[in-house]
């Protein structure tokens, strides 16, 4: 089995590469990444010696390079992690998010259809559903929840999902989509909440918190996410969307204080700032479909894996 992993040098892509090499050592993993600020070739250093691993530097928007990659490697599956993913950056410069997340996905889908790829898996996000009210903890996103993206980032991911489903219906391409809650773990870029909090706390720098910090997120350990993706690409039904959740909801401010406590760092490092434009209030995933059809998918204890993550960054 040959799997093309796009965005392989980014946070989740890197973890997925290592997971697949460990779990399916006979599979050939072809890593593809443009190596932007968020993708580092150093992340894949330990994979380089593996006999079934290869790396290609390329942009998913580059039709010529993508076509050459498909023609020469003939992948059986594509798992598309490649994306611009930081909400703040999307608010400042929406166009690059549309170019990469929408047009780049279309380039990959077209190549997959032309070259007869057995399965195209699109990595999406729970942010395509918009947000939920803080006062309704009973509400969770299901696969049939309406798409109500709040930011240019989440809108671009929703568009990519719809494109993938259109390729399934119109061209018969075998497509699956997974929408996951917030990930944490090794290799995450320091602009994200958990690594930024760890890094700033270790350096004695202030930790910026939007608004009052009461916004709630559902968190999943990145390797649990990889395990769920593995289940979807092998056993998921074509044309279906699967939610992947960690079933651990916590407010941003409580999470930051939890990290500071683990590091024995003072809470006066916290600095409240003006709230993000269009800031989503709460995310919560209902992963019943995944667990019933493809599970059970084990979920790691949050506190335990958060401590491991802190030690990795330390």
Which residues are part of the catalytic machinery? 126-127, 153
8 A C-beta contact, residue 258 and residue 199 = no
| Euclidean distance between CA atoms 125 and 241, whole angstroms | 11
Do you find a cis peptide bond into 47, omega within 30 degrees of 0? no
Q: How far is CA 240 from the centre of its chain?
A: 18
The CA dihedral of 14, 229, 90, 182, to the nearest 10 degrees, is: -90
| Euclidean distance between CA atoms 218 and 275, whole angstroms | 20
Phi then psi for 282, rounded to 5 degrees?
A: -150, 140
Task: Check residue 269 and report its DSSP letter.
Answer: G
Tokens of 155: 């809108």
């Amino acid at each position: 089995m040959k799997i093309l992993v796009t965005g392989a040098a980014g946070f989740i892509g890197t973890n997925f590469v290592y997971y697949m090499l460990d779990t399916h050592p006979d599979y050939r993993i072809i890593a593809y990444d443009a190596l932007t600020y968020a993708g580092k070739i150093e992340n894949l250093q330990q994979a380089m010696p593996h006999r079934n691993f290869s790396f290609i530097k390329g942009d998913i928007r580059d039709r010529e390079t993508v076509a050459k990659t498909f023609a020469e490697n003939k992948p059986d599956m594509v798992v598309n992690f490649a994306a611009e993913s930081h909400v703040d950056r999307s608010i400042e410069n929406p166009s690059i998010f549309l170019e990469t997340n929408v047009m780049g996905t279309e380039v990959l889908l077209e190549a997959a259809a032309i070259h007869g790829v057995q399965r195209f898996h699109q990595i999406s996000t729970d942010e395509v559903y918009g947000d939920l009210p803080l006062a309704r903890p009973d509400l969770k996103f299901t696969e049939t929840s309406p798409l109500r993206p709040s930011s240019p980032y989440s809108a671009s991911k929703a568009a990519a999902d719809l494109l993938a489903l259109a390729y399934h219906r119109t061209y018969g391409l075998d497509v699956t989509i997974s929408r996951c809650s917030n990930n944490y773990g090794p290799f995450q870029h320091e602009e994200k909440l958990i690594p930024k909090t760890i890094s700033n706390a270790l350096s004695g720098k202030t930790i910026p918190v939007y608004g009052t910090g009461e916004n709630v997120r559902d968190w999943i350990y990145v390797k649990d996410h990889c395990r769920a993706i593995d289940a979807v690409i092998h056993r998921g039904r074509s044309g279906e969307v699967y939610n992947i959740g960690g079933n651990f909801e916590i407010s941003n401010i409580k999470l930051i204080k939890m990290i500071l406590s683990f590091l024995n760092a003072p809470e006066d490092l916290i600095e409240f700032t003006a709230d993000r434009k269009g800031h989503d209030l709460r995310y919560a995933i209902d992963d019943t479909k995944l667990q019933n059809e493809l599970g059970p998918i084990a979920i790691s204890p949050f506190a335990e894996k958060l401590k491991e993550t802190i030690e990795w960054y330390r």
